[in-house]
Amino acid sequence: MKKVLFGILTMMVFAVTSCELGGNKPCLEEKATATVIGEFPDSVKVGDNQKVGVKFLAENSCGEFKRFDITQSDNSFEVKLITEYEGCNCNLVFTEREVEFEIDIDFPGEYQFKFWQSDGDYDTHLVRIYE
């Protein structure tokens, strides 16, 4: 009986130890997040950096702004806000957050900014950069 009990305890210790060694990864995830743009300028002078307020909803209390992923094609910019969720014990409540997006273009012209909302859906804004 003692050998059986010892064997079971040994297996349990091994199982717990192996789970701790291999399964102790932090809860970390990055996701593209839909944005809400308040006021977007119609025009900006070359050399002037214009900051635009960008609101987004974090899906839980652990969600924080990580970065903007920007893809440029000619005079068009596709902007995706990336939210990082770090932590395993988060309050499951949507939290509104706000960050600033900076328009900084060195050449005059008409530019399009497409802010990602969902796959294939964008909130599009046009801005004229003048000298």
Domain ranges of the chain: 26-130
d(CA 131, CA 127): 13
What are the residues whose beta carbons fall under 8 Å from the beta carbon of 56, sequence distance 6 or more?
Answer: 33, 34, 35, 36, 65, 81, 83, 96, 97, 98, 99
pLDDT (0 to 100) of residue 7: 42
What is the topology classification, in CATH, of domain 26-130? Answer: Immunoglobulin-like (2.60.40)
E strands in the chain: 28-33, 35-37, 43-45, 50-58, 63-73, 76-86, 95-103, 109-118, 121-130
pLDDT (0 to 100) of residue 10: 40
pLDDT (0 to 100) of residue 24: 60
pTM: 0.78
Tens-level pLDDT at each residue, the chain (131 residues): 444 434 443 444 333 333 344 456 689 999 999 999 989 999 999 999 999 999 999 999 999 999 999 999 999 999 999 999 999 999 999 999 999 999 999 999 999 999 999 999 999 999 999 99
